[in-house]
Structure 1
């Protein structure tokens, strides 16, 4: 394995993917960063926590198919977990690495767990930052409750009306997301609104959008059986980081994952919401480096 720093366009399974390598001079086990969304990208992370990680680790970024700077597949439904795992395996093959470490944030944490169920012997250690469980009703309830906790009075009243209509949770969840505005989403995702403004400014600077196609495909064709039912089979040493104020996935989801995994540690960041990497960056880097150094 002889990695070179830089940005690359690499074809995995017929899709051109954006890949970036930093910190190859450290000659560590590659740490592959897996972004969230679904349908997000690495633009913010690679300008905030990423450069600090690459001071001591060999860091690998890649935007998932149809995301950020990577090519869109020909069919809108070609975003399933199986496709995403297939692309990851091609990336690992391209890197020439026998084993890799994973750092997945938000949906990226969920995808890191999916990858670990398929190729556990090719994964060294796993870090999950505010991981999601998309097919879990609990996550939908966490988000709805989260919005209720920060909503202005009129929005709170509208959500309350939805809750009393006797409609399905899935419909309530969809309607709540139709009601909320960007400022409310920032309140959901961040405890520190200065971090929220920094995040939003970088998103706008990137000129990259989330088409929503990946989310739609994953909802319409979920992995079977659900990830929650397969977590006990994962043996890799895993660190779970969650913000005390995370109203998006939060302590409930992280706790469920922690209890299911055989070999995990959970750490709560007491000044963060959904993005500890932005709200407590120095602590985030220190905790990750200490975890990865333990063999």
Structure 2
């Protein structure tokens, strides 16, 4: 069962976080910006590590800030550091998902001495200046060509890439390894609910790729990049390029998984992350 606590960010905004499980802590940064509830317990990772899951400002139980510019990705790094200080952790393992990997990456660049290990799930490479091309997305999408929903979803994906459409609901099946009832329910629950936070996240100044790359070149923290074989948001080929930015990085491509690999195959996801992060043996309660 999760327990909720709160702390004040450097600008006075009251932020919430929840703690799930036991063991060594892992500070988790959701994507979106969306309510962190969609992360759940990361497929059972909480049986091996204590997950400290931040509600990004203006989402979940965290307050809406007075200054909307603090929704910007680079500004969210300050909230991660404020949480680390609040928890009195000299160093902590950090896990980010999707858009949250940009915040995690910039946190590692700015505070390398505070990061034990860095896990990037469904990684977004915007913070280091890598682009996910339409061709890369289509190549991954073609792996699903035998799915009954593929024709309509692929047409919508192509229209979005061509700038002639924006039917994101139609492309939703590409984000899960199985487009079943569980995936549909998760999709409905994981939509961002704060449009201003979404709009400001990547505003001008949010990313400084040249500086971030330069800082990461001397970051000693081991890094795991984990993406799904079917992830059109974070194609394996792009994740492989992203891994080259770090001095000590490994790439895991989870078979038959999409953008939420802990849902598609929890056992594989937990095995990969605990192999990297460490954790309590599976035989322990």
TM-score (norm 2): 0.82
Q: What pairs with 1:22-37 in structure 2 (closer than 5 Å)?
A: 22-24=20-22, 26=23, 28=24, 30-37=25-32
| Residue in structure 2 matched with residue 287 of structure 1 by the alignment | 272
Of 2, 7, 17, the match for 2:4: 7
Residue 286 (structure 1) shift: 1.5
Aligned ranges for residues 72-151 of structure 1 at < 5 Å?
Answer: 72-134=64-126, 136=129, 138-141=131-134, 145=138, 149=142, 150=150
Q: 1:253 to 1:230 in 2, by over 3 A?
A: farther
Equivalent residue, structure 1, for 2:175: 189
Q: Distance in 1 between matches of 2:151 and 2:200?
A: 26
| Structure-2 change in CA distance of 1:137 and 1:290 (3 Å) | closer
In structure 2, list runs of 5 or more residues that go unmatched.
143-149, 280-285
Higher alpha-carbon deviation: 261-270 or 224-233 = 224-233
Shift in Å at residue 34 of structure 1?
Answer: 0.8
Are the counterparts in 2 of residues 191 and 273 from structure 1 also a CA contact under 8 Å? yes
Name the SS for the 2:31 alignment partner: coil
Match of 1:220 among 204, 221, 239: 204
Matched pairs, number: 267
In 2, distance between residues paired with 1:137 and 1:129? 16
Q: 1:232: Cα distance to partner? A: 2.6
Q: What CA RMSD, in Å, does the superposition of the two structures yield over aligned residues?
A: 2.8
Structure 2 match to 1:41: 35
Distance in 2 of aligned mates of 1:214 and 1:187: 22
Unmatched 5+ stretches in structure 1: 164-171
